[in-house]
Structure 1
Amino acid sequence: MDKRDREETGFLSTTDHDEMICDHEDQNMHVQVNGKNGSVPHDNSLEIINESQSKKLLYKVNDVPPWYLCLILGFQQAFTSISGIIALPVIIHKSMCMGGDTVGLSELIQTALFTVGMSTITQSAIGIRFLSAIDDMQSDHQDKNIHVQVSGKDGSVQQDNSLEVIEESQSRKLLYRITDVPPWYLCIILGFQQSFTSIGGIIALPVIIHKSLCMGGDTVGLSELIQTALFTVGMATIVQSVIGIRLPIIQGATAAFLIPVIALMSQPEWRCPFNEETSGNDTINLPEVGSQQHRLLWTRRLSVVSGSLMVASVFQMFLGVTGLVGFLLRFIGPITISVVTSSISLSLFPIITSYAQKQWYIAFATIALVVTFSQYLKRWKICELFPILLSVGLSWLLCFVLTVTGVFTDDPNGWGYGARTDIKTDVLTKTSWFRFPHPGQFGWPSVSIAGTCGMLAGVIASVMESIGDYYACALQSDAGKPPSHAINRGIAVEGLGCLLCGLWGAGIGTTSYSENIGAISITRVASRAVSLVAGCIFMIMGCIGKVAALFVTIPEPVLGGLFHVTLGMVLSVGLSNLQFVDMSSPRNIFVVGTSISIGQTLPNWLNANISSINTGITLLDQIINVLLGTHMFVAGIVACFLDNTVPGTREERGFTRWKKSTDILMENTDSNVYDFPFFQRFLNRLSWTSYIPVCPAFQSKKKRENAIQQTHF
């Protein structure tokens, strides 16, 4: 398969990574957009021109087609929107106490159709008459001081992105580049900054899943889980910095594995008896919270989660080591990535609502503080760097004041009791100062096939997220375009990090954190040494029991407000991938909307009716329930299927613009950035390493063939 064939079949194939060329060059057409100051801003003029040329309207706004054609086209327009019109009366009729009154519902639909028709006629006759405004919009576009120049292959105008890259590079002026080592004291300060930037997201996931694991009110167990999460994140960060992609990128807990855990724990075999509604004397058989029997209850569940995560992580390592990541991305585009990432946060909103509803005022106060520090006061460095810590700290302090003054009720069943700061303080005395997390501390992992299948969906979502982070981090660090071997190695090492999380019993998986990439642009420090120090800080905090215990005492409404912001950011990151997609295309609107809606409704129904799947084979029932109960899996499968089967051009689907977004990264000028440390010289002597996808000497088959041909000449 030659280069052109590979471009038509996929994007970002890691084996062909260095051979990609822009689609617009093949079309012998170039667009240059010049503003007033001679700069080259991004402009969609070519797309507007192409779209205008492709329309070639048969009838313009003021034209009147033959009467029979008017009728046919009128019916087409009416039936295009009729399903949405009749849907709303059907949805609201039960809320209006219409119940089974089908005649009344019929009259309601009639009225809706009639009023919609009147509104349409009025709008067309004396309203905005939107279609007639197209000519005005085009003239407005010409009035802007923007010049579009199109030239063919023999033209004098040549496209060059170097100006943007140079201007961006000059504006950054990194204080410390990726291979530089700042003074030791500065490394520690910046390491603390990097660790505290991501610590909110790391401790959030153990807090969210601990109830699903049947940990309940075992605050000591929750503190140990947070300790383990911090420790394993530190290990993963160090390994990624040393032998992974070797960019200054921090590893953190990912919500991609959270949904499969919740789906697995919702199965009848693993449902927590503490979470079940009981009546009478049914609660007598339940163990005391925090007792050894209770600990056995949740460690057994954690062992299954850990084992399933470990098996799935082996698959992630396999993707990286074999270079199959690029093959996967031939079928997974911006639409699928956007739908999957968005579905992760959408499915978690009911959970974070359960935290916030215990005291909505405190939750809203936390959200308001995060918005204030991160958006309105970001001109101050401390607010820009630590908005989460400042917001949580002030909300925590507010809860303490309202607790000691008696504003919050002391009735456990009263509203606002969950915001008190004195209901979990016993964990500070029960937890030891130092505790070293070790493999098998919660029992040795056991494997669930159904759980493994769910975790595999988390692996795919994590891989898609990380590749985007690699390019973003390389851009901020002036490290050049990550070569294929570095991307492969980064994915493989992330799989190793997840394997360590399962072995240690963290209950979570790891991935690259985009929040820390933003800190690089703020501090202008891209040193790899800082990320190593941050990893060490995570491991040290994971060994200090009182630190994790302190996080456990944070009032739940404060966490609820924090989760609204952090998971809202995950949703926004997912939706941001649609910037590469032509969202004016009805095809793409259909794919995105249908995928997200099915990804939310089907898992919600299945988790509420777990016994609906009954094939007669218990194991198969569990696998189907876990997979179809995982929101991001359902949404991702639907999106991937529709995106690859519904007719549409690669430009329309977003592949073309997605690929061009990576072309602003210049080729790596320092070959040592992505090389292995210490033993790279030894590897350079081995010719067979050019066939290993994770080795710096790795070359694609096409490159090797070209090299052989050149030697013959």
Structure 2
Amino acid sequence: MRGTQGALIVASTLQIVIGFSGLWRNIVRSVSKFLNSLLRQLFLIGVYFGGDFQLAKCVEIGLPQVIILIIFSQYIPHLLKGEKSIFHRFAVIFSVIIVWVYAHLLTVGGAYKNAGPKTQLSCRTDRAGIIGAAPWIRVPYPFQWGAPTFDAGEAFAMMMASFVSLVESTGAFIAVSRYASATPMPPSILSRGVGWQGVGILFSGIFGTGNGCAVSVENAGLLALTRVGSRRVVQISAGFMIFFSILGKFGAVFASIPAPIVAALYCLFFAYVGSAGLGYLQFCNLNSFRVKFILGFSIFMGLSIPQYFNEYTAINGYGPVHTGARWFNDMINVPFSSEAFVAGILAMFLDVTMHKKENAIRKDRGMHWLDKFRSFKTDTRSEEFYSLPFNLNKFFPSV
């Protein structure tokens, strides 16, 4: 853990420097609409291929959660016109409570008494004594696992993972602005967000969380489902998360929610985020053979290369790049195992090198739609959507 802390602290400097220096702003300015689409679609596909289908591990809980959530969020609002906002905004809470109670009744009723260990782990609401073992109050503090240790190999590997996260988070930033009904995100704002994400990784390393920070794709999907794009809601939610992290018993209650219920929520959240990527294709000329080539080739290679890396690792226990330097192995194997990273980097290279300066090509890429939003000050609504609280714009100006 101490080594992970040190690696996170070092890796945080990558996003802090790239973000606050404006370097990522300059890169994002060359990103076209269909590249935004690629990042979202490939992230969704990466989630599909990268993990096991948790919902299927307890179908009697996961499937009702999906069905009830769809009914509450998609059908009831259209049947009860006057209650539309309530069911749109609280569909997740209503459905989770109903299915959670149902899962608890199955647990106390002995439905899983003779089930296998995997079924009990996925379906029971009282597994492993998680509530009883949790302390009432526990305040996290810096370097709680001891002084961090720094290793060059671990730091380089974590920096590469941080860069992959940066690329994937860029697509999530864009999806959030889309679903929040905000104006297209100016590149300087996106770069600033990357910098603050690096600050979050720094705090993760200091407090020893064991993982870094990235844009929550689940929250982007939740935003689309609830139609609530208020930053005040996010701030209040952050306060609740801090509260539950200190009062361990309360946090343990929520941690006892069976994983298939959460997986069922992801079925809708990730679908919304992936469809946000499809929506950006409307700004591009899909009749252009150039656009078709870049889209098709990037998607194909973005699926094929990570699939090869992941299968090779699963069979052999190590990646295709296997040298005596573990840090070098991780720097190559980690990014090329990400669908969004491979497709995004490949599409960006092709997009900025193939006949970029021709005026017709620029329209095919959808760049003319972004002219008004290339700078923070060219649209009066940018201040409303993207200004920082507490007069922080003075210290982190947007251009």
Give the structure-2-normalised TM-score: 0.79
Q: Is the 8 A contact 1:309 1:509 kept in 2?
A: no
Instruction: Specify the SS of the correspondent of 2:126.
Output: coil
Q: Secondary structure at the match of 2:287?
A: coil
Cα–Cα, structure 1 residues 389 and 411, in superposed 2: closer, same or farther, change >3 Å? same
**Residue 613 of structure 1 contacts residue 621 of structure 1 at CA under 8 Å; is this kept in 2?**
yes
Judge conservation of contact 1:343–1:599 (CA < 8 Å) in 2: yes
| Aligned amino acid, residue 448 of structure 1 | A
- Matches of residues 513-524 of structure 1 in structure 2 within 5 Å? 514=220
TM-superposed deviation, 1:429: 0.5
Residues 637-674 of structure 1, C-alpha deviations (whole Å, 9 max, x = no match): 222122223346011112123446889x9525979x93
Distance in structure 2 (CA, Å) of the matches to 1:530 and 1:563 = 20
Equivalent residues of 1:359, 1:416 under 8 A apart:
no
Q: 1:488 to 1:418 in 2, by over 3 A?
A: closer
Q: How far did 1:579 drift?
A: 2.5
**Amino acid across the alignment from 1:457:** V
1:311 aligns with 2:15: no
Whether 1:452 aligns to 2:177 is no
Aligned alpha-carbon RMSD (Å): 3.7
Residue of structure 1 equivalent to 2:304: 601
Q: State the one-letter code of the partner of 1:316.
A: Q
CA deviation map 1:538-585 (0-9, x unaligned): 322221111221122112222222222222222222332222222233
2:364 aligned with 1:652: yes
Offset at residue 509 of structure 1 (A): 0.8
Q: Which has the larger radius of gyration?
A: 1
Q: Distance in 2 between matches of 1:385 and 1:618?
A: 47
Aligned partners of 1:352 and 1:560 also within 8 Å: no
1:629 aligned onto 2:329: no
After superposition, the Cα gap between the structure-2 partners of 1:592 and 1:445, relative to the gap in structure 1 and judged at 3 Å, is farther
> Is the alpha carbon distance of 1:423 and 1:469 closer, same or farther for their aligned partners in structure 2, counting shifts above 3 Å?
closer
Structure scoring higher RCO (CA < 8 A, sep ≥ 6) equals: 2
Identical columns (%): 25
Report the alpha carbon displacement of residue 395 of structure 1 after superposing the two structures with TM.
Answer: 1.7
Q: What pairs up with 1:544-563 in 2 under 5 angstroms?
A: 544-563=247-266
8 Å Cα contact 2:89-2:226 kept in structure 1: no
Question: Map of 1:426-575 to 2, 5 A cutoff?
Answer: 426-443=129-146, 444=148, 446=150, 447-466=154-173, 469=176, 489-506=192-209, 507-511=211-215, 514=220, 532-575=235-278
Task: Tell me the amino acid that sits aligned with residue 461 of structure 1.
Answer: E
Return the TM-score normalized by structure 1.
0.47
> 8 Å contact 2:166–2:194 — kept in the other structure?
no
Listed one character per residue, the Cα deviations across residues 236-261 of structure 1 (whole Å, up to 9, x for unaligned) are xxxxxxxxxxxxxxxxxxxxxxxxxx
**Which amino acid letter does the alignment assign opposite residue 13 of structure 2?**
V
Within-5 A mapping of 1:258-297: none
Counterpart CA distance in 2 for 1:482 and 1:573 is 14
Contact 1:333–1:655 (CA<8 Å) still a contact in 2? yes
Cα gap change, 1:366 to 1:490, in 2 (>3 Å)? same
Change (3 A) 1:448 1:388: same
Q: Deviations over 1:117-142 (max 9, x none)?
A: xxxxxxxxxxxxxxxxxxxxxxxxxx
Give the conservation status (yes or no) of the 8 Å contact 1:591–1:643: yes
Aligned to 2:73: 374
List gaps (5 residues or longer) in structure 2. 313-317
| Secondary structure of the structure 1 residue equivalent to 2:57 | coil
Q: Is the 8 A contact 1:409 1:417 kept in 2?
A: no
What code does the residue aligned with 1:646 have?
Answer: M
1:150-549 alignment to 2 at 5 Å?
299=1, 303-304=3-4, 306-350=5-49, 352-378=51-77, 379=81, 380=83, 381-408=85-112, 410-413=114-117, 418-424=122-128, 426-443=129-146, 444=148, 446=150, 447-466=154-173, 469=176, 489-506=192-209, 507-511=211-215, 514=220, 532-549=235-252
Q: Kindly indicate whether the alpha-carbon contact (under 8 Å) linking 2:200 and 2:212 is maintained by their aligned counterparts in 1.
A: no
| Residue type at the aligned position of 1:410 | N
| In structure 1, distance between residues paired with 2:264 and 2:184 | 38
- 3-state SS of the aligned residue for 2:239? helix
- 2 CA distance for matches of 1:597 and 1:520? 33
Q: Amino acid of the residue matched to residue 163 of structure 2?
A: L
One-letter code aligned to 2:203: L
* Contact 1:582-1:654 at 8 Å conserved across structures: yes
Q: Provide the secondary structure at the position in 1 that maps to 2:334.
A: helix
Pairwise CA distance, 1:464: 4.6
Q: Contact 2:137 / 2:246 at 8 angstroms: preserved in 1?
A: yes
- Given candidates 376, 380, 384, the residue that maps to 1:667 is 380
Return the structure number with greater helix share.
2
After superposition, the Cα gap between the structure-2 partners of 1:488 and 1:565, relative to the gap in structure 1 and judged at 3 Å, is: closer
Deviations 1:7-54 (A, max 9, x none): xxxxxxxxxxxxxxxxxxxxxxxxxxxxxxxxxxxxxxxxxxxxxxxx
Cα distance in 2 for partners of 1:670, 1:625 equals 41
Q: For each residue in 1:72-128, what CA deviation from the matched residue of structure 2 results, as whole angstroms up to 9, or x when unmatched?
A: xxxxxxxxxxxxxxxxxxxxxxxxxxxxxxxxxxxxxxxxxxxxxxxxxxxxxxxxx
The residue that corresponds to 1:185 in the other structure is none
Report the Cα offset of residue 430 of structure 1. 0.5
d(CA) in 2 for partners of 1:504, 1:581: 44
Q: Secondary structure at the match of 1:336?
A: helix
Deviation of 1:400 after TM superposition, in Å, equals 1.9
Matches of 1:602 and 1:481 in 2, distance apart? 31
Distance apart, 1:328 and its partner CA: 0.6
